[in-house]
Structure 1
Amino acid sequence: MTDLVPRTPGRVTFRLAVPPVSGVLRQRLVRVSALLAAATFLLFCLGMTVGDIPFSLFDVVRAVLGTGDPGTQLIVQELRLPRAVAGLLVGIAFGIAGALFQTTTLNPLASPDMIGITQGAGAAVVAGIVLGWDGGLSTQALGLLGALIAALLVYALAWKRGTTGYRIVLVGIGIAWICTSATDYLMARGERFQAQAALGWLVGNLNGRGWDQVVPLAVAMAVLVPAALLLGRLMRTLQLGDDLARGLGTRVQPVRLGVLLAGVGLVAFATAAAGPVAFVALAAPQIAQRLAGTAWPPPVASGLTGALAVLASDLIARKLISDTELPVGIVTGVLGAPVLLWLLVRANRAGSGG
């Protein structure tokens, strides 16, 4: 049984008898999420129409559903679907992770690729490539290990009777540069073919992605995304400030650490699958927040915005230059850099830019 009770314009409270759950539905957020989901599905299918053998959108949809021409099904399901699913999941993971970091630190610049988490995962994976430990499972494990080490260093060095978003960002920038320097050293030390493989991965790339990269990411997200959404209700109290959040019964540091670990896991597995796709975790939550008109980056809408950004950028990267597939990270970098500049200008105008 469900009770829907309108309380304020644009919001509806709901209460479920089984399971005993209650909450508030923001109608604008629901509409925006539905539109983002529809646009994401459209781009998901459009991406599979591009290739040496072009297909119509109708043919792709039929092939994904397991109907239509057997030859089309083989090409779509075995060759193009893994890439599309990888782009979808990577975008969702980066978008949700960015929303988690930005909300818990109260800083729109606190995205994983700004505070060293992505760089930590990247340095570990490049070390694996240079040292000959590449491969699907080991890449995932190395990405997770590198991201965890970077995150724990940021958390420990930012600790002073607790942590604040400002200290996390400052310390994270330092950790990011340390990891970047370590990656450059590994690139210089490796053989030419190893450096080429690492460079292609470091840009952020969906070319040649298969089920061996998709499956570990999907399994990790099946665990981490529900955990991140469950932490969302407690996380929003942190926006009121640590003292007030404690007064409302929120255990500030455990919640912040839990959010950090969930975000780190999403970033690590997404980075291991497609490389450090630039600016998605930074820009997607900010775009979703403004579309939804909320006071914080909404995780679900941020994930959908991230997926839309990655799939759109991948489509542009494949169509921009004929007979050439650019890495998706080049396009996201070009599109995301203006968002970073805008956030910096906005922070300075608001008096929070340092």
Structure 2
Amino acid sequence: MHRRTVLVTATLVAATLILAVISLVLRGAGVSPSEAFAVLIGDHGGFAATVVLKWRLPRVVAALVIGAALAVAGAIFQSLTRNPLGSPDVIGFNTGAYTGALVVMLAGFGSFVATATGAMTGGMVAAAAVYLLSLRSGSTGLRMVVVGLGISAMLAAVNRWLIRAAELDASMAIATWGAGTLNGLRWPHVVPGVIALLALIVVAGCLARRLDLFDMGDEAAHGLGLPLRSTQLSLLVVGVGLTACSTALVGPISFVALAAPHIARALTRGSRVSLAPVAATGALILVAADLAAQRLFAPTQLPVGVVTVTIGGIYLVTLLAREARR
């Protein structure tokens, strides 16, 4: 990486860690900031340790890893589509993963493994539909985005029907989870999801060189010996896996995958950006959004997806207007 990229990544990581510590030590649940900080340095136990280490820390860890995972997924899909709008929450993969998880949960299988399997299946089915329909015209760029928007709208309608058809208690719980929330996360739920996401991020890092070649265009990449179809399939599976595991853990969260690659690219001032600053940007966005979701209307905690989708709507309109002017 270039020196500016290293400096930007280090700055993003430092800012993210500062926000993470703030999230852990803020006043709340009968614990003062001094008591919470004492827990972090190992000088306090009891109820304060339960609040900080068993209630708050899993939430912060999940926000860090999921934010990084969604950002990497966004970078992968924007590279595959060669379109700034090519993120999983725009082209339907996020919605497909939600549909799969929703079907599994309504069938009575509420474990993380079952939900993750359903989310992965739904995401892969949506991805296969978008990919195959895009190939019919010989293009996987703008057409993939347009087809993905159509698939996403169809699946969103199916999701609403499923929620309305469910029993009242189940539909209310699933609707809350469907807004994308980190509320109530505990270590038994976080650990398997974080391990799976970290493994997929490592795989994405191993494919980063192919991603750079793919950004050069089909002809140039093929001339340099890159197998296009297998590379597209590998990147697609990894991107859908990152999206599906994140959705299985906390529900669908919008905006992060769309915005993080753009913000990282602007900060590093490069036409292409490595995955390290992208992942750091995604982690920072989600930790900041979750902190806002917890504190804006305290003691009521909002789903973090409400915060990200509000900001994301404004960002998406701005991005569309800028692309239209170009």
Give, in angstroms, the shift of residue 157 of structure 1.
1.6
Task: Within 5 Å, give how 1:233-312 maps onto structure 2.
Answer: 233-312=209-288
Distance in 1 of aligned mates of 2:237 and 2:37: 37
Which of 296, 300, 304 is the matching residue for 1:328?
304
1:136 paired residue number: 112
Distance in 2 of aligned mates of 1:330 and 1:225: 25
Give, in angstroms, the shift of residue 163 of structure 1.
4.5
Distance in 2 of aligned mates of 1:297 and 1:343: 18
Give, in angstroms, the shift of residue 258 of structure 1.
0.9
Conservation of the 8 A alpha-carbon contact between 2:261 and 2:278: yes
1:11 paired residue number: none
Give, in angstroms, the shift of residue 162 of structure 1.
5.5
2:93 paired residue number: 117
Give, in angstroms, the shift of residue 297 of structure 1.
4.1
Q: Does 1:68 align with 2:68?
A: no
Distance in 2 of aligned mates of 1:231 and 1:184: 36
Give, in angstroms, the shift of residue 345 of structure 1.
1.0
Distance in 2 of aligned mates of 1:252 and 1:44: 40
Q: Does 1:77 align with 2:53?
A: yes
Amino acid at match of 1:274: V
SS in 2 for 1:158: helix
Structure with more contact order per residue of length (Cα contacts < 8 Å, sep ≥ 6): 2
Give, in angstroms, the shift of residue 104 of structure 1.
2.3
Give, in angstroms, the shift of residue 145 of structure 1.
1.4
Which of 154, 164, 169 is the matching residue for 1:188?
164
Amino acid at match of 1:124: G
Q: Does 1:214 align with 2:190?
A: yes
Task: Within 5 Å, give how 1:145-184 maps onto structure 2.
Answer: 145-160=121-136, 163-184=139-160
Distance in 2 of aligned mates of 1:209 and 1:44: 16
Distance in 1 of aligned mates of 2:272 and 2:318: 18
Once the two structures are superposed, what CA deviation does each residue of 1:55-109 show, in whole Å capped at 9, x if it has no partner? 42x65455345x1111232321111111111111111111111011112221110
Q: 1:255 to 1:59 in 2, by over 3 A?
A: farther
1:45 paired residue number: 21
Q: Which runs of 5+ in 2 are unaligned?
A: none
SS in 2 for 1:133: coil
Give, in angstroms, the shift of residue 262 of structure 1.
0.7
Amino acid at match of 2:282: G
Q: 1:257 to 1:55 in 2, by over 3 A?
A: farther
- Tell me the percent identity: 37
Give, in angstroms, the shift of residue 161 of structure 1.
7.9
Give, in angstroms, the shift of residue 326 of structure 1.
0.7
Conservation of the 8 A alpha-carbon contact between 1:89 and 1:217: no
TM-score (norm 1): 0.87
SS in 2 for 1:277: coil
Amino acid at match of 1:235: L
1:17 paired residue number: none
Higher fraction of strand: 1
SS in 2 for 1:334: helix
Amino acid at match of 2:119: G
Higher fraction of helix: 2
Conservation of the 8 A alpha-carbon contact between 2:289 and 2:308: yes
Conservation of the 8 A alpha-carbon contact between 1:204 and 1:274: yes
TM-score (norm 2): 0.94
Number of residues paired by the alignment?
Answer: 324
Give, in angstroms, the shift of residue 37 of structure 1.
0.3
Comparing 242-251 with 130-139, which one deviates more in the overlay?
Answer: 130-139
